[in-house]
């Protein structure tokens, strides 16, 4: 379940593929623009959903960073902040996102622990000195959390996820986003 180390291990256990490989993989055509589109995902969902857009804080906790997270972030920190949110259109979650902030980054930027239901991407977009790595992509089983959070049409046995490392003036954090079964299926007119 999200909010537990088990979900974090589920993401860590995936084979993450570089962006160049995504073109070689079979992706549901309506989902592809959401995975690779330009601009902030939060803003794109907000535009598609209008007043029905909601960002919900699911869980936030301090936990240990395993070897895979330390390697992804290129840090030696033993612990960090985990923040999980849902980006929703109406009552339907479209994206489940997890941010991992190592303690060294949190020490420099303690406001990262106080975002609440504010959008991380939109907040970082207002700052200078923020760099994002290329995305990596992975598939997750749809029956596992967070896929089980969204009823969706159940057409696919897999969910797509993407992640990227962000550096705030050199300090790293990791953002991992899972595209849920209902992604893009409801919009303003729904």
The verdict on residue 157 lying in a domain is: yes
Res 77: pLDDT: 97
Residue 156 included in any domain? yes
> Please, what is the average pLDDT of the chain?
86
Q: Is the pLDDT of residue 1 over 50?
A: no
User: ∠141-145-147 over CA atoms, to 5°?
Assistant: 65
What does the pLDDT look like over 33-84, one tens digit per residue? Answer: 899 888 899 999 999 999 999 999 999 999 999 999 999 999 999 999 999 9
Contact of 25 with 162, CB cutoff 8 Å = no
- The pLDDT value recorded for residue 71 is 92
Model confidence at 113: pLDDT above 80: yes
Residue 139 pLDDT grade (very low, low, confident, very high; cuts 50, 70, 90): confident
Output the domain CATH number for residue 140.
3.40.1410.10
Buried b (16+ CB within 10 A) or exposed e, 149-166: bbebeeeeeebbbbbebb
Domain containing 125 equals 5-179
Residue 186 located in a structural domain: no
For the cut 70, the answer to whether the pLDDT of residue 145 exceeds it is: no
28 pLDDT band, cuts 50/70/90, is: confident
- Domain count of the fold of the chain: 1
Q: HSE (CB half, 13 Å, CA atoms) of 153? A: 7
Q: Considering the entire predicted model, what is its pTM?
A: 0.86
Report if residue 190 sits inside a domain.
no
Does residue 78 sit within a domain?
yes
| 123: its two tokens | 């907040």
Residue 57 forms part of a structural domain: yes
> Cβ of 69: how many Cβ atoms within 10 Å?
21
In a domain, 184, yes or no: no
Instruction: Evaluate whether 63 touches 82 at the Cβ level (below 8 Å).
Output: yes
Residue 89 lies in a domain: yes
């Amino acid at each position: 379940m999200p909010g537990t180390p088990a979900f974090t291990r589920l993401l860590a256990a995936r084979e993450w593929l570089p962006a160049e490989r995504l073109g070689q993989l079979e992706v549901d055509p309506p989902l592809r623009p959401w995975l690779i589109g330009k601009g902030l995902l939060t803003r794109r969902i907000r535009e598609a959903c209008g007043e029905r857009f909601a960002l919900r804080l699911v869980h936030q906790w301090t936990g240990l960073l395993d070897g895979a997270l330390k390697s992804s972030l290129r840090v030696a920190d033993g612990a960090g902040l985990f923040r999980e949110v849902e980006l929703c259109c109406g009552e339907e979650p479209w994206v489940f996102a997890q941010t991992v902030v190592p303690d060294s980054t949190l020490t420099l930027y303690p406001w990262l622990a106080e975002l609440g239901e504010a959008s991380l991407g939109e907040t970082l977009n207002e700052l200078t000195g923020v760099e994002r790595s290329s995305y990596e992509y992975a598939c997750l089983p749809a029956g596992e959390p967070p896929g089980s959070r969204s009823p969706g049409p159940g057409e696919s046995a897999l969910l797509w996820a993407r992640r990227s490392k962000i550096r705030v003036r050199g300090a790293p954090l990791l953002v991992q986003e899972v595209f849920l079964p209902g992604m893009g299926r409801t919009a303003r007119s729904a």
